[in-house]
């Protein structure tokens, strides 16, 4: 086995404390306690407080483990736990973390905790509601930490169930339609993922479900091409990639604000992470061949999402189409074939996770007060809600990639990754960058016009007396906004976490092919 690959194949058990398993199981312990609480209680013994406590402990545990037991200079898997679970089908309890997964586990823990705090006013079936959020937290962590394909697939499926129920029960007027559309798209996509993964598992010298062992067999031929397409479609639904995106605006439009925070802040990032873990790491030769097609898809995503955002008169649907556009930059970075672009894709996932969660949270703040998300039915809210306006404007500026905020660093890094990739022709690189830049030009237009129409313009008399953000809501807004500013001015605080892994991944793409990779460019071997 290549020493540079993230290997768990040689490890049966890890010789230290099972930190990753504790991260996964801690939210589930909270679920066991929630049935003992009273659904009507709002004090320290109510379901809200218990959920907040367990997710706070889980986030503290995540931060402790990754600050004390995770070496940012190592690009391979760390803290490996590998225990036989169902031996007769080859299923193992196999967890591991590297630079690709560690930042996303932190993002998942933070956004899920804040979504619970943002759900403080939920009154209907509170024990079930918060139990589903705790289950979602556990499933999300398993997706990012799993190193066995079946375990990954089970966790991928498990996280769909809470989201479906959270939309179907606590969503808006058309919640059943949105929830059904979500589950149909994602279930069909999951079938492709399962078929592709099992096909790879059976195609090697011996059957294996271990992701690192599947990575070793990089030359799958025609089967690899079909599996790559299966993974691309399956994970592309979650990213989402045009034209597999249509579930997203409906889901955001009907979900309540805390669930939209999870959808935009965490679930979309699972698609980007899985593309890196499966398409790029397992099938690098196919990825090289299809990279130009991915660049085209990415530019379509960017421009299509931006143009469609203009047509939306619902605040959440406009932000949803904005997310489609911004996730196009993630796909563009993944298609860049070098560490610079992949670094940008990782930073874009983290940055967008914070910014989108902030914007959806703030829409929930003024929806609770105005009872509408219709842009034409709002106006003049800046005087009544100055703090909310300040937060929403700051989040919009971060989303449009204002210099000094995280969005600018991530998107400029992706552009540099594409423009320095010499395996693409100069004309192709120029067209890709120019077309993608259209999305950058459109983003400030539709976001700033949204701010103008909602917070300025003709004042609606009925909205003139609505209250501003509470201290609890202000704290949530600050926790989401401050990191975007910190990353914008000091991006190394995040980039250092995954640079070793993205560099190893970029080198792995061209290892064993007729090309090798330099710092930022690909050079054919004569």
Q: How many CB atoms lie within 10 A of CB 208?
A: 20
**Does residue 8 fall inside a structural domain?**
no
More confident position, 227 or 512: 227
Please give the average per-residue pLDDT across 214-229, as a whole number: 82
pLDDT at 42: 67
Q: Is 13 within a domain?
A: no
Does the structure show a pLDDT above 80 at 428? yes
Written as six digits, the tokens of 252 are 């955001």
Asked whether residue 4 is domain-assigned, the answer is no
> Could you give the number of structural domains in the chain?
1
CA distance 469 to 365: 7
Amino acid 267: pLDDT: 94
Q: How far apart are CA 501 and CA 506, in angstroms?
A: 9
pLDDT tens for each residue of 245-285: 999 999 999 999 999 999 999 999 999 999 999 999 999 99
Residue 229 lies in a domain: yes
pLDDT of residue 29: 95
318 lies in a domain? yes
> Chain-wide mean pLDDT for the chain?
89
Report the predicted TM-score, pTM, of the whole model to 2 decimal places.
0.92
pLDDT band at 220 (very low <50, low <70, confident <90, very high): confident
| pLDDT at residue 1 tops 60 | no
Closest C-alpha among 319, 263, 259, 254 to residue 118: 259
Q: Could you tell me if residue 261 is inside a domain? A: yes
Residue 6 confidence (pLDDT) above 60? no
* Averaged pLDDT, 296-309: 96
Residues of the chain above pLDDT 70, percent: 92
Rounded Cα–Cα distance for residues 314 and 405 (Å): 26
Q: Per-residue confidence at 44, pLDDT binned at 50, 70, 90?
A: low
Is 14 within a domain?
A: no
pLDDT in the model for residue 11: 40
At residue 148, the 3 state secondary structure works out as strand
Token representation of residue 265? 């802040």
User: What average pLDDT does this structure show over 142-160?
Assistant: 96
Average pLDDT over residues 170-178: 93
Q: Residue 218: what pLDDT?
A: 58
Task: Answer whether residue 203 shows pLDDT above 60.
Answer: yes
* Dihedral angle sign, alpha carbons of residues 156, 252, 326, 236: positive
- Give the count of alpha carbons within 13 A of 514, CB side only: 4
Give me the mean pLDDT over the 174-189 stretch: 94
Query: What pLDDT shows up at residue 504?
Result: 93
Q: Is 63 strand, coil or helix?
A: helix
Q: CA 505, 508, 513, 516 torsion: positive or negative? A: positive
Answer yes or no: is pLDDT of 41 > 80. no
Residue 489 belongs to a domain: yes
Q: Which domain holds residue 272?
A: 19-524
């Amino acid at each position: 086995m290549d020493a540079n690959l993230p290997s768990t194949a040689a490890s049966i058990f890890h010789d230290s404390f099972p930190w990753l398993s504790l991260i996964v199981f801690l939210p589930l312990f909270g679920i066991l306690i929630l049935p003992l609480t009273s659904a009507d209680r709002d004090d320290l013994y109510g379901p809200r407080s218990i959920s907040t406590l367990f997710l706070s402990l889980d986030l503290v545990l995540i931060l402790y483990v990754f600050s004390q037991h995770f070496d940012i200079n190592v690009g391979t898997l760390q803290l490996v736990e590998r225990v036989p679970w169902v031996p007769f089908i080859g299923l193992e309890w196999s967890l591991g973390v590297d630079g690709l997964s560690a930042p996303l586990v932190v993002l998942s823990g933070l956004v899920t905790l804040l979504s619970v705090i943002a759900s403080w006013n939920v009154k209907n079936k509170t024990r079930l509601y918060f139990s589903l959020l705790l289950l979602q937290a556990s499933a999300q962590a398993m997706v990012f930490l799993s190193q066995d394909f079946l375990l990954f697939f089970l966790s991928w499926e498990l996280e769909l169930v809470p989201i479906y129920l959270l939309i179907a029960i606590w969503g808006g007027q058309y919640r059943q339609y949105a929830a059904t559309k979500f589950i149909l798209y994602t279930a069909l996509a999951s079938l492709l993922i399962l078929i592709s993964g099992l096909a790879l598992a059976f195609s090697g010298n011996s059957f294996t479900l271990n992701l690192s062992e599947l990575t070793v067999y990089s030359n799958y031929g025609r089967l690899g091409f079909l599996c790559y397409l299966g993974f691309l479609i399956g994970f592309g639904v979650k990213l989402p990639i045009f034209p597999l995106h249509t579930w997203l605006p409906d889901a955001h439009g009907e979900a309540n604000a805390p669930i939209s925070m999870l959808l935009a802040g965490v679930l979309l990032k699972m698609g980007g992470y899985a593309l890196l873990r499966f398409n790029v790491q397992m099938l690098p030769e196919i990825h090289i061949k299809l990279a130009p097609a991915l660049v085209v898809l990415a530019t379509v995503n960017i421009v299509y999402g931006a143009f469609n955002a203009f047509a939306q008169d619902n605040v959440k649907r406009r932000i949803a189409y904005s997310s489609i556009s911004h996730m196009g930059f993630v796909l563009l970075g993944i298609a860049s074939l070098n560490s610079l672009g992949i670094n940008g894709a990782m930073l874009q996932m983290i940055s967008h996770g914070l910014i989108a969660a902030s914007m959806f949270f703030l829409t929930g703040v003024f929806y609770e007060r105005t009872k509408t998300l219709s842009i034409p039915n709002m106006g003049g809210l800046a005087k009544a809600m100055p703090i909310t306006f300040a937060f929403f404007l700051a989040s919009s500026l971060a989303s449009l990639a204002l210099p000094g905020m995280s969005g600018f660093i991530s998107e400029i890094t992706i552009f540099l990754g594409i423009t320095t990739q010499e395996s693409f022709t100069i004309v192709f690189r120029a067209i890709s960058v120019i077309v993608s830049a259209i999305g950058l030009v459109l983003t400030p237009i539709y976001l700033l016009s949204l701010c103008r129409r909602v917070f300025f313009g003709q004042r609606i008399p009925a909205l003139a007396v609505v209250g501003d953000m509470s201290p609890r809501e202000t704290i949530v807004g600050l926790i989401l906004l401050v990191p975007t500013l910190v990353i914008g001015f000091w991006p190394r605080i995040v980039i250092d976490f995954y640079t070793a892994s993205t560099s190893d991944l970029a080198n792995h793409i061209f290892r064993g092919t007729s090309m090798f990779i330099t710092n930022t460019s690909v050079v054919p071997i004569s």
